[in-house]
Structure 1
Amino acid sequence: MIRTLLISVVWLLFTLAFFIFTTTHFALLFAVGSFIVWLWLVLSVYLVKGKLHYEIIAPNELYKNEQMGYQLHIQNTSKLPVTQLQLHLVIEHIFTGRQESHLHVLSIPAKSKEKFSFVLPQKYMGQVSIRIKQLTIKDSFAFFRSVQKLDVQSTMLIVPNPYFLKLQRIEQNQHVLQTPGMMPMKKMDGEELAEVSVYKPGDSVKQIHWKLSSKVDGLFVKQHETLTGDAIMMTLDFTSFTNEITLYDEFIETFSALLYSYVAGDHQVQFILNYSTGEQLTIDNEWDAARAIKEVLTRSAAQVSLSDEQWKKLRKTFPNCIVLTTNIARSTECQTVVISDQKEGTAA
């Protein structure tokens, strides 16, 4: 506002000085013309204020690595065009709180509705909020401007693509799948399969797990023993999380890969979603796995974290529970998969 008044005063003083000291018809025409141009520029900024309507159109849910974009619909109900419209957008990854600011300069004709398409600049995972934080309307020469604060937003949920998980992530997480106890098997031919291990010379060909071996680069054999049950218990722990988006992506993809791997092996998974409240999900198929992943993606870090006391109680109550954690200090525990920026995902 101060900048607009300053430019207006300087322009007016210059026009009056030119008219006073130059007593010609040109001076009069210049004064009239300057006033008309000044009036047009001012009106082109302030008459459209409040007559622009905004809407962010984004899918509620989409797979990661698809065409991750959104649309911005702007309607100008004014009789004047908007030559320069600066939109300040903020894209926020809700779980980590990381934000990116973007500035878009657009033009909107009079009495029209325009659609603009944008692509998310980063391959996010989880809940992402897109918000218009501020807009600035400028005239053709950027002499005058009007700034308006806004809070127009839309939220989308980006989930891992199960197709790519089956093709890529299972292979990339062989160190997890081949760790003793991480891949318990169900009953077969009257025996219980406790785990799988890498094929070694001398192992019986009959013991090769062909279904699992076809999914990874290597041969695995079945290890038999008597189990008290064939269900798998699993939970997550985000303590000591560093709020890195790439680490969050790696954590979710590792968790999703394990979940889909268990389901593909016809295992039932008892997933502890929130240890504090005792909320659990029973996962029997891919649909249940996808639902569990979505539930995790919509939770805050506090809801999927374990305090030291809860960790000790969990290990005492459910010693065979598989835990994916970001806390590297808990890597010495059995049945623990660590996903950390200090150390790539490992299993103890």
Structure 2
Amino acid sequence: MAVKRLEYGLILVGLLAFHIFFVDYLSFYLLLFFCFLPVLSLVLTLLSGLRVQVRLEAGAEGGSGNYAVKKRELFAVRMYFTGNSRLGGKRIRVRMSVKNELLRTEETKTLAFAMEKKKQLVSFPVSSEYCGNLTCRIRQVKLYDYLWLFAFPIKEAAEICAAVSVKPDIRPYQMNLRDQPAWDWESDEYSAEKPGDDSSELFDIREYREGDRISRIHWKLSSKRDELMMKEGSLPVSSRILLALDLAGTADGGGLADSLVETAASVSWFLMEKGICHRVGWWQEAETGGQFLVRKIEDEEAFHQMLHEILSSGRGAESMNVIAGCLEEEHISRILYFCTGLTEKEAVFLCGEKEAASISIFQMKKTGDTDRISGRGEKGQEPGEAGRAAAESLGAEWRVLKEGRQAEGMKGFEI
């Protein structure tokens, strides 16, 4: 390392000055010894072998696959080093990073240690205050001689990674359900409680009632029972509720993004537990730009898969991209839009184009903040209030949620 090389250089300069001013055998042999000491260290390092294998684990020891923890929960990152060293004391320096794929934040850590002859375990604790998929990655491994002067990169160990998922808290919000089952004539799913007009799927057979259409008579069964029996069609149902997650405006810190994901996930879990099929949409960042993804949530497995994808989505999308994705979704009667605020143009674009849908907008704010959008309000309004006024004038519901206190804002909300 640079510090060790500087220290060695200063020692050589000091010994050289000592030899110049005090010419004798002692000063000469001391200077000669320190000149050949790096060569000796290098030779011993080469003789002990340069092959080192590295294995990285995060979470439970010996575990495989994606390991999940709660926010602020400590978990261990372990690096296993194995080699064929004939001598102990190999100097190893590791540079690794821990990246939150949701927030796109990254921390680096450098470790230096002396390895034993055959094996060495290096472990350190990690935790995250915010949710997101964490990628623990080894960026660089270097093997040094005994004096830390010569470095040999271990290329095979670079870019080894392990993943840990930090889940958001799922909170039991006090919400109410509307007794309005969604229906969709193009759906392959049917209501188990109410009949409909889709004759391709039989719901029930009953006795004739005055006013029933002749086309619904079950002639074969009626002839057997000597009374008119009617066929009832089924009512197609579909996932007509869309939860849209807009993480634009959360780049200042992780708290807003964490609270938005937590709120959307809690509402989705609530609907899933009630047996209500719904959709969740968000903007997925990619190297080539990104896309609006939508996942259908029917059961717990689909919920956890959706949540895992969101925790790697990033947060750099513009609100217009998310709104455009919402507008492209067909057969939607209810939109729950989670964001940090909308401009007047964005609010009109969302609420004006999707007139057939009932829209509820949830604006997440930091405690004490007014709005993420500064300088866009009308004269006499708080910044960003123009977006809220535009949305409400078009019939949308607007709720303000406070970071860390979302349950208060969600109380009594009717889906």
For the aligned pair, the TM-score class normalised by the smaller chain equals 0.5 to 0.7
Tell me by how many angstroms 1:97 deviates: 1.9
Aligned equivalent of 1:118? 124
Give the structure 1 partner of residue 309 of structure 2: 295
SS in structure 2 at match of 1:307: helix
Aligned counterpart, 1:267: 276
Residue equivalent to 1:127? 133
Residue among 140, 143, 158 paired with 2:165:
158
1:55: how far off? 2.7
Scaled by the length of structure 1, the TM-score of the pair is: 0.64
Deviation at 1:311, TM superposition (A): 6.9
Q: Over the residues paired in the alignment, what is the CA RMSD in angstroms?
A: 4.5
Point out the more displaced range, 311-320 or 63-72: 311-320
Q: Secondary structure at the match of 2:111?
A: strand
- Ranges in structure 2 where 5+ consecutive residues have no aligned partner: 59-63, 182-192, 195-235, 285-289, 352-358, 370-400
State the Cα distance separating 1:262 from its structure 2 match.
0.9
Cα distance in 2 for residues equivalent to 1:327 and 1:149: 48
Q: How many residues align?
A: 296
What is aligned with 2:242? 234
**1:192-231 correspondence runs (5 A):** 231=239
Amino acid at match of 2:364: I
Instruction: Pick the aligned partner of 2:295 from 281, 286, 293.
Output: 281
SS in 2 for 1:103: strand
1:317: how far off?
7.4
Matched, 1:146 2:151: yes
1:339 aligns to what SS in structure 2? strand
State yes or no: 1:184 paired with 2:209: no
Distance 1:107 1:253 in 2: 43
Point out where structure 1 has 5 or more consecutive residues left out of the alignment: 192-227
How far the C-alpha of 1:299 sits from its partner, in A, is 3.1
Displacement, 1:326? 3.3
Structure-1 separation of matches of 2:323 and 2:260? 23
Secondary structure of the 2:256 match is helix
Distance 1:14 1:31, change over 3 A: closer
1:38-82 CA deviation, whole Å, 9 max, x = no partner? 433344567678533323223532223255332112223343434
Deviation of residue 83 (structure 1)?
5.3
Which structure would you say has the larger Rg?
2
Please state how far the C-alpha of 1:253 moved relative to its aligned partner: 1.8
Does 2:57 correspond to 1:51?
Answer: no
Q: Is the 8 A contact 2:133 2:311 kept in 1?
A: yes
Residue identity matched to 1:69: A
For residues 19 and 80 of structure 1, what CA distance do their matches in structure 2 show?
Answer: 37
Q: 2: CA distance between counterparts of 1:147 and 1:45? A: 10
| Residue type of the alignment partner of 1:41 | S
1:234 corresponds to which letter in structure 2?
L
Residue by residue over 1:284-320, the C-alpha shift from the partner in whole angstroms, topping out at 9 and shown as x without a partner, is 2222221221232233446796438617836997452
Q: 2:282 & 2:51 partners in 1: Cα distance? A: 47
Question: Which range is displaced more, 119-128 or 4-13?
Answer: 4-13
In 2, the alpha carbon distance for the partners of 1:238 and 1:280 equals 13
In structure 1, which of residues 319, 334, 339 is the aligned counterpart of residue 364 of structure 2? 339
| Cα pair distance change 1:33/1:339, threshold 3 Å | same
Deviations 1:149-205, CA, capped at 9 Å, x for gaps? 8632314141527xx62xxx11xx44xx35xxxx43567xx89xxxxxxxxxxxxxx
CA contact 2:52–2:84 (8 Å) conserved in 1: yes
Give the direction of change, closer, same or farther, for the CA distance of 1:304–1:154 in structure 2 (3 Å limit).
Answer: farther
1:76 touches 1:109 (CA, 8 Å); kept in 2?
Answer: no
Residue number in structure 1 paired with 2:262: 253
Percent pairwise identity: 11
CA contact (8 A) 2:96 2:109 kept: yes
C-alpha change, 1:17 and 1:236, in structure 2 (3 Å) is: same
Question: CA offset at residue 135 of structure 1?
Answer: 4.2
Residue number among 112, 134, 137 corresponding to 1:105 in the alignment:
112
- 8 Å CA contact 1:273–1:304 kept in 2: the answer is no
* Aligned-pair CA distance for 1:138: 5.2
Counterpart of 2:135, as a letter, is S
Q: 1:184 to 1:232 in 2, by over 3 A?
A: farther
Match for residue 63 of structure 1?
A: 68
Describe the shift of the 1:5–1:289 C-alpha distance in structure 2 as closer, same or farther (beyond 3 A). Answer: closer
User: Which residue of 2 is the match for residue 209 of structure 1?
Assistant: none
